[in-house]
Amino acid sequence: MSLRYVYFKKIILRSKIQLFYILSFKFYFFMLPTGHFAAGYLTSTFTLSSLINLYPAVNDPKFLALGLFASVAPDLDEFYAFYVAKGFWFKKKDKAIIHRNYLSHAPLLHLFVGLASFVVGLVANSSDLQLYAILYIVGTWTHFFFDSFFYGVKWLWPFSNNLYAFRKPGEDMAKIEASGFFSYWIGFLKLYVRDLVFYLEALVIVVAVSAYLY
């Protein structure tokens, strides 16, 4: 067995472990990406269908794609949060980092970006940019709405740092101590199925799949 092959296998194993930790970190602060994506699909398609008289180009799939991306984009901050909390390449860190405290989870900031883009679209007479701006706001705010079912979001930042949620603002899901892959997921599912968010997400996914198929 060559040294190059052994090195390659180590890289693959290390990548799998890193992916597991990223997923574990993600599921520690739900809602899951599947739920955000499904919710983004529903709100984006509804928005596009409502604007067809004003923007005939709404059927172009690029606008739906932007809405879908915007519905999960705020959670891209988790890669940085994971780096700070756990570190990459087996650095020994174990900090408690809440990614929803970052500016990427500030709804008013995203609203400002969307509105500014819409104004630029009006000035430039670009209907595409106007639609992008609308779908960006719809997608990101759909994300924040569902994030507000658990832990909460800083809806009034920069005017307030308070977290606002429909229930349990600022409370995390109980930490799962299991280190093994299967034991972690069993522990996660036992906790997750007891929470309202699990059933809300399942319902949203079912509705989104039904809307897509029919």
Name the residue ranges covered by the structural domains of the chain: 33-75+99-213
User: What is the reported pTM?
Assistant: 0.73
pLDDT tens digits for range 17-55: 444 443 444 444 445 678 888 999 999 999 999 999 999
Is 202 exposed, middle or buried, given 0-12, 13-18 or 19+ CB atoms closer than 10 A? middle
User: For the chain, where are the E strands, in sequence order?
Assistant: none
Of 86, 85, 108, 93, which is closest to residue 158 (Cα–Cα)? 108
| Average pLDDT for the chain | 76
Q: Binning pLDDT at 50, 70 and 90, where does residue 2 land?
A: low
**Residue 90: per-residue pLDDT:** 42
Question: Which tops the pLDDT comparison, 138 or 162?
Answer: 138
* Residue that the structure tokens 């009034």 belong to: 156
* Length of the chain counted residue by residue: 214
pLDDT beyond 80 at 117? yes
Q: What is the mean pLDDT of residues 74-78?
A: 78
User: In angstroms, how far is CA 62 from the centroid of its own chain?
Assistant: 19
